[in-house]
Amino acid sequence: MLTRAEIKATKEELQANYRRLNQPEATVLADLEMNAERLDAVLNMESTQTLATFGRSVIT
């Protein structure tokens, strides 16, 4: 389990990496096969279930 500081740092890193992609949201959503709500949850580390789903999307 991550500490609060680690969660904050990871959240910031995820969001920074997403911005660096410099891709339209529609492209990212299609590539990851997820909707905007789920992407937002992943980038904000709001749910471990969401993160697990994100992991499967990236791997497959």
Q: What DSSP assignment string belongs to 3-17?
A: -HHHHHHHHHHHHHH
Count of domains in the chain?
1
The residue segments making up the domain with residue 46 are 4-59
Express each pLDDT in 6-58 by its tens digit: 999 999 999 999 999 999 999 999 999 999 999 999 999 987 554 555 555 44
Terminus-to-terminus CA distance in the chain, angstroms? 25
Please give the model's pTM, rounded to 2 decimal places: 0.70
Res. 59: pLDDT tops 70 = no
2 Rama class: left (phi>0) / alpha (psi -120 to 50) / beta? beta
